[in-house]
Structures are given as C-alpha cells and as structure tokens.
Amino acid sequence: MSDDRRMHLGLTIWPTGFHPAAWRLPGSHPDGNSNPTLLREAAQTAERGVFDFFFIGDRLVGLTGSQFANPNEVLRPEALTLASHIAAVTTNIGLITTVNTTYSDPYNVARATATIDHLSAGRVGLNIVTGKNEEAARNFGRDQHWDNDRRYDWAAEYIQVLELLWDSWEDDARVADAATGRFVDSDRVHQIGFRGEFFSVDGPLNVQRPVQGRLPIVNAGASERSRELGARFSDLRFTNSSTLGLAGAREYYADLKSRLSAHGRSPEDQLIIPGVAVYVEDTDADARQRYSELQHLLRTGPAGRARLSEAFGVDLSALPDDARIGDVVDTTALPHAGRTALDTSIDLYGHDDPTLAEITATLLRGAMFKEVVGSPQRVADVLEEWFTTGAADGFMIFPPRVPYNIDRFVDLVVPELQRRGLHRREYTGRTLRDHLGLSRPVNRFSAAPEAVPS
C-alpha cells in the first residue's frame, strides 16, 4: 500500500455458526450461546488475529420458527452481560455490544456501558438498534411495535442523553485529596438537565466518565432514517452493502460518507464496515468442498424454490433438487436476477452446472452478506479490492462455522493481509477508539458549559 491506511476487522459471534446448518457438523457447538469456553476462546482467537473488535449482537425475542433459517435467533446471550465476560478474558481487542434503544432506558445503559469501559480499560463501543420484531413489544408491556419514524426519533434523543451522561463527570472531577479530605470537585460533576420529547433526565451519572470519554457509537440499517442517524452520531456504520455487489457497495459507501458534512463531520469521522462470510482453506478446492458440505445441509423448502423460480422467470417447483440447471433452463436467456444467482453459484461451488438445490442455497444465503470461498490468497484478493476501491474501510467477518472458521481466518487470511500491508501486526493503541483511529472527544461541559444542549 502507498499510505498508512489499514483494514479494520471485526469478528461477530453467532455461537452456533453464521450458517444455520453449521451446528449439525461434528465438532460444532449446539450449546454455543451458553458455552463460556467457546465464547471466551472465540474472542481470544480474534485478539490473536489483532482484530479491532469483537462484535456482540442481540435480540429480545426467541422465535422457534427461525430455527431452520437462523437458529441464533432462537437463543441469544444478553449482550451487556457477555461484553463484561469478554472484557475480563481479553486484553487488547475492542468490544462492541448491542442495545435495543426501543426497549431500554438511557440512564441504565449509560451506567452499564461506562462501567464496562472502565473494567475493560477503554475497549467498549455501543451498537444502537431499534428492533424489528413485533413480538418484542409484548415482552415490554406494549400493544404494538413502534413504526420506523417513532423508533428513530426515540433513538436520536436516547443517544443525546447517553453522551451527556457520559460527560456528566469531567475527567478530573475525582480529586481524592487525602490532605483535605475532599473526594470530589462538585463543580466538575454536572446535572445534564435534559428535557426532550421522550426523556427527562437530570443526571449526573454515578460512574466516572468512560476511559474513552464517550463510547464509539455504531449503527446499521439501509433506511433513510438509519442513514441519517448514522451520519449524525455514528463512528462506525455496519452494513450489508456486500449484497449489492462491488459497484453497488461503492455507491452505498459514497452515499454514507457524503452525508457527514451536513453534521459538521468529515469522511474520516465514520468507518463503513460491511459484513462478509468467509469460507477459507489452504486451497480453493478444499474451501469449496467445505462450502458445499454446509450448503447441502441447508433446508430450503418450497419457499426457497419459489424464490429461485422468481429469479429465473421459470416455474421450477416440480423439478427434483438434483436437476442440473443446464438441463432445465436456457441459461443463455436468463433475466438479470437469474444470471446473477447462477454466476454466484458457479463461483462459490467451483463448477459450471450447479443443481437446483445448490443454486437455491446460494440464493438464500447470499441475501444476507457476501460469501467468499477460497484460498487465503483468493479471500485476500476480494477483501483488498473492496478496501482499496472505495467500497469499505474494513469488514465484519462472519464465521460460517464456530469455532472452526474463526481459527481458519486468523491462521490463513490474517497473515496474508499482513504480508500485503493491509492489516496491523500488533496493537499500537490501548482503547477501541485507538484501534478505530478515532480521537478522544473533549468533555462538552468543561469545553463550553454554556453550549450544552438541553
């Protein structure tokens, strides 16, 4: 590389594996969501790979109907609790923990996250989600799940309260003067006096200002409201832009960066991190074999075949799973969606006449995040192209199988990225802000107390 820009890497933990069939393989962990050894070792492996952060998602409902498409939606460890555990068993890696703002209170969350930031020596970030499951409302005494606008109005105010509470103690407010007996300089501890549409919060927090000053804020989502919330508040944007293809991801990246100036921010103030599912082995052939092994365990059902028929513009519902696409469809006259599905399947499986079952499985999985299958060199080529041509500032790695694909990525891909100068060889900072290249914000009370918003 011609400059000092380095790829930011995060590992997200879906304990039964990102691929819904992964837990069925020997050596996998169907108890992954409650297995402390697995969770600890996953984070420690990512730390060995000098990842920026270990990402902890969350969900407030357990839907058994999701067990075949996504078993991780049935059981899920609570994110703040898991972040505290991971903080205690790691030293350098950042921890991004998820909070659903629609069903929580900013004072409690500000207090918990500030505490974890101190316990981890400044390694915590906060991923803000507003929730998508209507079932969650009935777990919190509500008749209905709020619409998109109300959730985002609430979330914007919520983040303002968080940041004010984190700043309510100035950095040097605890003086601990043994000679005079004065423990705190009360002039440096501030009520925030927040009065908004949704929240009325006096403050101050009863936890000192976080080590990082304010925790890095993360959000995701493709809606207009999500993009604008991110432009205003987020230090890192997690995206599924990898599903758009390289050209589409570049456009998405440019759009997100272009929104920052309206909020007095520069493009460097926010990192764009798409998700990627990586199947890597020593050779392309071995990686494709592993990919096929998992895909053949996927239950696609009539709904999957219906999606394939729609993509190809032909009713394929009555055909057997093992029918070869070239025997049942004129592949030279496919609509765009069908051509894309076929080309993707050919690339991932490594043969030019996949079965209907294979294409269906690829179509269903590819709608979540881009899948990359191959040798370390092939995987690194893909990541490098996206990183150097304006599509990403780094990647969230989704291991299809846990812990197997975590080890494979760290042992095979990370050294290749380091050899190319794309990834650091050691941690050069102490906090998550350091890892992300973000400066520590000045306390707004000590900097300009008269300008603090209410």
Give the count of beta carbons closer than 10 Å to the beta carbon of residue 447. 12
189 phi and psi, to 5 degrees?
A: -115, 125
Is 98 marked as a binding-site residue? yes
Owner of token pair 């032909």: 314
Give the span between the Cα atoms of 247 and 264, in whole angstroms: 28
Q: Which residues contact 373 (CB under 8 A, 6 or more apart)?
A: 279, 280, 284, 287, 288, 291, 347, 348, 350
Give the span between the Cα atoms of 38 and 43, in whole angstroms: 9
Of 402, 407, 406, 408, the residue nearest 28 (C-alpha)? 402
What single-letter amino acid sits at 121? A
Taking the CA atoms of residue 370, residue 80, residue 141 and residue 219 in that order, the dihedral angle to the nearest 10 degrees is -40
Q: Which residues contact 208 (CB under 8 A, 6 or more apart)?
A: 114, 118, 169, 173, 174
Q: How are beta strands 124-129 and 182-184 bridged, if at all?
A: unpaired
Is 258 marked as a binding-site residue? no
Owner of token pair 């028929």: 309
Is 152 marked as a binding-site residue? yes
Is 107 marked as a binding-site residue? no
> Which residues define the annotated binding site for FMN?
58, 98, 152, 223
Mark the binding-site residues, compressed into ranges. Answer: 58, 98, 152, 223
